[in-house]
């Protein structure tokens, strides 16, 4: 009997799942089209969740902000996005929300600021390594 219930819950058809589980299952299913891992960091799961990133938008696209906030709105969003992903998966990336947030911020930087930050990153890494070596002597 218990076995029977588990099978039906996994299929998600005969028993209504709560919206949160339904959303999680839908996103996981969508993620499987992209190898099931975040494009940037490779994680399969994140505390902050996983998402689908639009690489580019169409004129009448489905976007997250068109739906009410919360589980119900998100479920509606991903449900309506599903056929668009199936039609053209190259327009999307599967990302964890940490990487998505970082990347969207990164995208808003101008080239000058971005290049300066990349240079500073290299400089900081090099400087920290030198400092560490000095400490070990």
Q: Which residues bind Zn ion (CB under 5 A)?
A: 38, 40-41, 96, 99
Query: Least distance to Zn ion from the beta carbon of 37, Å?
Result: 8
Q: Round the CA-based radius of gyration of the chain to a whole number and report it.
A: 20
- Between 38 and 81, name the residue whose CB sits nearer to Zn ion: 38
- Between 17 and 102, name the residue whose CB sits nearer to Zn ion: 102
- Between 31 and 75, name the residue whose CB sits nearer to Zn ion: 31
50 φψ region: left (φ > 0), alpha (ψ -120 to 50), beta (else):
beta
Q: How far apart are CA 79 and CA 44, in angstroms?
A: 21
Contacts of 81 (CB under 8 A, 6+ apart): 30, 52, 62
Query: Least distance to Zn ion from the beta carbon of 39, Å?
Result: 7
Query: Least distance to Zn ion from the beta carbon of 3, Å?
Result: 35
């Amino acid at each position: 009997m218990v076995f029977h219930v588990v099978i039906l819950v996994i299929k998600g058809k005969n028993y209504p799942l709560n919206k949160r589980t339904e959303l999680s299952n839908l996103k996981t299913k969508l993620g499987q089209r992209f190898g099931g891992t975040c494009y940037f960091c490779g994680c399969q799961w994140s505390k902050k969740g996983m998402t689908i990133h639009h690489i580019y938008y169409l004129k009448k696209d489905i976007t997250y902000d068109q739906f009410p906030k919360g589980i119900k709105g998100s479920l509606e969003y991903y449900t309506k996005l599903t056929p668009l992903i199936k039609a053209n998966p190259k327009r999307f990336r599967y990302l964890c929300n940490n990487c998505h947030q970082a990347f969207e911020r990164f995208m808003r930087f101008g080239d000058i600021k971005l290049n300066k930050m990349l240079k500073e990153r290299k400089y900081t890494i090099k400087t920290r390594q030198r400092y560490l070596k000095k400490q070990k002597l």
